[in-house]
Structure 1
Amino acid sequence: MSNDIQTRSPGAPESTDARQKGPRYGSAAALTPPVDVVEDAGGITLFADLPGVSRDNLNLQVEAETLTIEAESGLAVPDGLKTSHTEVGLGRFRRVFTLSKELDTEKVSAELAQGVLKLRIPKAEHAKPRKIKVEVA
């Protein structure tokens, strides 16, 4: 991976264990979702595992060179039923990335399907390779 993106967790040490609780936001600890970053000539694509997260409970924000992913998952209990035992509770996710100036944050696109968030961030025009025409003197 190049220097186009760096992961960071403000106020918390870096962790390689994606299941470890990360920095706090709101009133509960946030889980650090595992993220795969794929780079190609046109930009980068991030794949974040966010099981149980709906589009309504997903907050994506780009401010300056910082990308923030915040989400909340939960299983809805059908009307008239009560849970007697819960092992899968409400999950909060948070992940922060520092983006390179070579990426065009104005053209970020996002898709959420089956618990996987796909974010595409293209390279800025000035960072894309281009052919230089050579003139004969």
Structure 2
Amino acid sequence: MRREMDELFGDASDRGLVGGRGRRGGFTPAVDVFYAGDPPRAVVKADLAGIDPSDVDLEIRGRELVIAGIRRPQAADGRVYQQVEIGHGPFRRVIGVGADVDADGARAHYESGVLIIELPLVAPVAVGVPIENTR
């Protein structure tokens, strides 16, 4: 139930007022999802600035894409911060795609701090239904 509430309200309970940090620590990356192309595909863009792509895991489960990873804190190197707004720590987003996905055709690339995931959608299969004559 918690996951459904998080998806409905955009995981608002985890977002603090500053820097996207929440009560559970870490942060929640912003995500855009749109549909494009022929053949159709879902495109998911996740704002992962400052995160090494090797620290990110992607998993497709049915009609859901799971993006999980960690944003590591920068070394303090003797700095004394006046203000800290950039969240760090573990994150996990579950994005409902709304259609069946061809997991074998999924592709992802990291460009200028944005992870772009393309998920080909499986075309629905039309199945004829015979009509019985009961006379």
**With structure 1 as the length reference, what TM-score do the two structures score?**
0.63
Verify the 8 A CA contact 1:66 1:96 in the aligned structure 2: yes
Q: Where does residue 78 of structure 2 map in the other structure?
A: 82
1:121 corresponds in structure 2 to: 119
Higher strand share: 1
The superposition leaves residues 13-53 of structure 1 with CA deviations (integer Å, 9 ceiling, x where unpaired) of 4225879629xxxx635414232423222212211111211
**Which runs of no fewer than 5 residues in structure 1 stay unpaired?**
1-8, 129-137
Structure 2: which 5+ residue stretches go unaligned?
17-23, 126-135
Distance 2:12 2:35 in 1: 18
Match of 1:10 in 2: 3
Aligned-partner SS, 1:31: coil
Q: Tell me, yes or no, if the aligned pair for 1:52 and 1:75 is still in contact at 8 Å.
A: no
Say how many residue pairs are matched: 113
Q: Given residue 40 of structure 1, which amino acid in structure 2 is its aligned partner?
A: G
Q: Distance in 2 between matches of 1:67 and 1:36?
A: 11
Distance in 1 of aligned mates of 2:15 and 2:62: 26
> Conserved in 2, the CA contact under 8 Å of 1:49 and 1:115?
yes
Change (3 A) 1:18 1:114: farther
The answer as to whether partners of 1:37 and 1:44 remain within 8 angstroms in 2 is yes
- Check conservation: 1:71, 1:94, Cα contact below 8 A: yes
CA contact (8 A) 1:33 1:95 kept: no
Q: What amino acid does structure 2 have at the position aligned with 1:122?
A: P
Equivalent AA in structure 2 for residue 114 of structure 1 = S
Runs of 4 or more above 4 Å deviation: 16-20
Paired position in structure 2 for 1:108 = 106
49-58 or 66-75, which deviates more: 66-75
In proportion to residue count, which structure has more helix?
A: 2
Alignment RMSD (CA, Å): 3.3
Q: Decide whether aligned partners of structure 1 residues 12 and 83 sit closer, same or farther in structure 2, where only a CA change above 3 A counts.
A: farther
Match of 2:63 among 59, 65, 68: 65
